Structure 1
């Protein structure tokens, strides 16, 4: 029986599309060249492991003078990359909590970037248990982060239902016996929550 539902945040509750943001402010060919030369997602992993938000990005920017100003925007315009909210996913989170189902987050998110996100998305403070990688010092899909959730919550295996948009993150949870759902849109996630008996059709709208 499911005792808690766990949401990823990026591309589950809030869209996270840095490439889309850069395509809006520079020619696509330039953006592709920048991403090919600079491991911006690797830079972000450092932040998600607990590295300082602004300092990490600005340090990387100095290593690549050609792209310095654009890399700094990963910090300066960050909230425009982490947008918009996915309304139905938020409604599902709130409907579960209204039914008394504990809802956790399990997200690769930096300390500073998460605090900043909360100023725009206050519901990020509403999880019954937040599991934020920056504070944990480990990121998905490393096994340790799932183990830490189990140790902190006292739940394991099929007591947990986890949704994430990345197949590797889902696979790692599945290996631990968690129930999992690859998030490809809120309609599929709503149907899964109904199928698990956690929400009614009406509550899942």
Structure 2
């Protein structure tokens, strides 16, 4: 029996597509050059693992002065980049809350930039428990972060239903005995919630 539903955040509740953002800001050609020369995803991985948000962005900008202005967008325009909200996913979160089903967040997210997104999207503050990698000092798919969730919530692995858009994160959870859903669309996740008896059809719209 599922006793809690655990949501990833990026590309599940809010969109995270930095390449698309930079296409709109600097154009596709400049964006391609930026992402080819600077490993921005590795920069975000370090932030997600606990590095200081503003400091890590500034350090990366100093290392790549030719792209400094673009890199600093991560620090100075975070709420423009990590958006918009995914409305149906938010409705599913609220519907689970309304039925008194515990909902947790488990997200690779920086400790300093996560509060910026919560202020922008109050739905991110609705979780009964939030497991944010930057605050925990560990990232998915490290098995240690799943173990830390289990220890904190004191629920058996098989009682947890976890949705995430990345296959490696889902695989790591499944290896611990969690029930999982690989998130591709809100509609697909809604169908899973109905099939598992967590939401009636009318509440999953």
TM-score (normalizing by structure 2): 0.98
* Residue 68 (structure 2) aligns with: 68
* Residue 158 (structure 1) aligns with: 158
* Residue 112 (structure 2) aligns with: 112
CA distance in 1 between partners of 2:116 and 2:56 (Å): 15
* Residue 85 (structure 1) aligns with: 85
After the TM superposition, which parts of structure 1 deviate over 6 Å for at least 4 consecutive aligned residues? none
CA distance in 1 between partners of 2:203 and 2:27 (Å): 43
* Residue 98 (structure 2) aligns with: 98
CA distance in 2 between partners of 1:45 and 1:197 (Å): 35
CA distance in 2 between partners of 1:27 and 1:21 (Å): 9
CA distance in 1 between partners of 2:140 and 2:68 (Å): 28
1:140 positional shift: 0.5
CA distance in 1 between partners of 2:89 and 2:123 (Å): 12
1:29 positional shift: 2.2
CA distance in 2 between partners of 1:49 and 1:157 (Å): 23
1:56-91 CA-to-partner distances (Å, cap 9, x unmatched) read 101110101110111001111111111100011001
Residue 168 (structure 1) aligned with residue 165 (structure 2): no
* Residue 136 (structure 1) aligns with: 136
CA distance in 1 between partners of 2:113 and 2:47 (Å): 8
- Extract unaligned runs of 5+ from structure 2: none
CA distance in 1 between partners of 2:180 and 2:165 (Å): 11
* Residue 17 (structure 2) aligns with: 17
* Residue 147 (structure 2) aligns with: 147
1:44-59 equivalence runs, <5 A: 44-59=44-59
* Residue 4 (structure 1) aligns with: 4
CA distance in 1 between partners of 2:184 and 2:75 (Å): 27
SS across alignment from 1:181 = strand
1:132-165 CA-to-partner distances (Å, cap 9, x unmatched) read 1011100011111000000001113220000000
1:20-35 equivalence runs, <5 A: 20-35=20-35
CA distance in 1 between partners of 2:86 and 2:59 (Å): 32
- Extract unaligned runs of 5+ from structure 1: none
CA distance in 2 between partners of 1:91 and 1:31 (Å): 33
CA distance in 2 between partners of 1:94 and 1:134 (Å): 25
Residue 41 (structure 1) aligned with residue 33 (structure 2): no
CA distance in 1 between partners of 2:75 and 2:156 (Å): 36
SS across alignment from 1:158 = helix
Give the paired residue count: 205
